[in-house]
Amino acid sequence: MKKLVSISDCSKEDILHIVDLAEQFEKNPNPHLLDGKLVATLFFEPSTRTRLSFETAVQRLGGRVIGFSDAATSSSSKGETLHDTIKMVSNYVDLIVMRHPVEGAARYASEITNVPVINAGDGSNQHPTQTMLDLYSIKKTQGTLENLTISMVGDMKYGRTVHSLLMAMRYFNPTYHFVAPPELKLPPQYPEYMRANNIKFDEREDMNSILAETDILYMTRVQQERFTDLVEYEKVKNTYTLRNSMLEGTKDNLRILHPLPRINEIAADVDANPKAYYFEQARNGVFARQAVICSILGLV
């Protein structure tokens, strides 16, 4: 891989390589692999986990980070174009990590620079490094990526982590349940994609109906920031809340994932359940991002 802007660009071998590397980084931290390397983290949208885990990943490998966490503190607030920002930052660094609200922004950035670009989330489109850490988390908890039943609950429309993960799993024969209110169903290109790739899936509104057969329960936040009409957000924001009592009768191997942040779609009483895995999942982000960075820079 020379860049990572969409998970659809990754082969099965690419994905398995990153998952294996993540495991190696977790077992054997290599504190000098990025000595002398400089990475830019350009966050035009808010972030806690993605930016901080990227920065942790780089610094724990001996590299250094420059960047901004708020576009208002960059010259984009004065009207500088994304084109010019990328051209400028390319003069300074070995790798660019970028989050941007516009779908396709990371692809655009990658086409105007020779510096490798990693997409840290572009609007509702893609979040491929989240997918790599999700896959690593699934492999760690299930022992395999193959033949799993994955239920995704919440915002299927705007949830970029949902979109990336459903595409990545095409190599591993998943069975999907997508649970959402009608307003937040998957955009039509994703059912089309799954049909074209022979992925088994259904779409429904009732979360309780899928719990007993699920291996991975992937909860998601309703993405308030993507709504143009907040009345519409208010209508759907509390559609689903997973409570501890609902986990009775679920499979022993069930694990609950969530890209985070959560609002109220997972009740606090779930946190102590051994099936809750979302905080460990976020920790896995450091190892998965170390794997992606070092792979793209040709260091492993």
Catalytic residues: 49-50, 78, 99, 127
* Residue 189 contacts residue 163 (beta carbons within 8 Å): no
CB of 2 to ligand CP, least distance (A): 23
Smaller CB separation from ligand CP, 140 or 221:
221
Q: Give the interface segment with ligand CP, choosing from 19-27, 44-52, 87-95, 264-272 (CB under 6 A).
A: 44-52
Distances (CA, A) of 198 to 60, 189, 214: 40, 14, 20
Establish if 130 lies at the interface with ligand CP (CB under 6 A).
yes
Smaller CB separation from ligand CP, 140 or 199:
140
Distances (CA, A) of 9 to 5, 20, 136: 8, 18, 18
Q: What's the gap between Cα 256 and its chain centre?
A: 15
CB of 47 to ligand CP, least distance (A): 3
Establish if 67 lies at the interface with ligand CP (CB under 6 A).
no
Q: Give the interface segment with ligand CP, choosing from 43-51, 144-152, 225-233, 243-251 (CB under 6 A).
A: 43-51
CB of 67 to ligand CP, least distance (A): 14
Using CB under 6 A as the binding criterion, the count of chain residues that bind ligand CP stands at 9
CB of 282 to ligand CP, least distance (A): 7
Which of 17, 49, 170, 251 binds ligand CP (CB under 6 A)? It is 49
> Which residue, 159, 173, 186, is CA-closest to 257?
159
Q: For residues 113 and 122, what is the distance between their CA atoms, to the nearest angstrom?
A: 17
CB of 252 to ligand CP, least distance (A): 27
Residue 64, helix vs strand vs coil: strand
Which of 47, 74, 241, 273 binds ligand CP (CB under 6 A)? It is 47
Smaller CB separation from ligand CP, 127 or 211:
127
Q: Count CA within 13 A, CB hemisphere, residue 209.
A: 9
- DSSP letter assigned to residue 24: H
N-to-C CA span, the chain: 11
Inter-helix orientation angle 12-27/278-296, to 10°: 110
Provide the sign of the torsion angle of the four alpha carbons 214, 216, 219, 225, taken in this order.
Answer: negative
Q: For residues 121 and 99, what is the distance between their CA atoms, to the nearest angstrom?
A: 5
Establish if 81 lies at the interface with ligand CP (CB under 6 A).
no
Q: Which of residues 256-275 bind ligand CP (CB under 6 A)?
A: 259-261
Establish if 48 lies at the interface with ligand CP (CB under 6 A).
yes
Establish if 154 lies at the interface with ligand CP (CB under 6 A).
no
CB of 43 to ligand CP, least distance (A): 8
Q: For residues 201 and 51, what is the distance between their CA atoms, to the nearest angstrom?
A: 32
Binding positions for ligand CP, rule: CB under 6 A: 47-50, 121, 130, 259-261
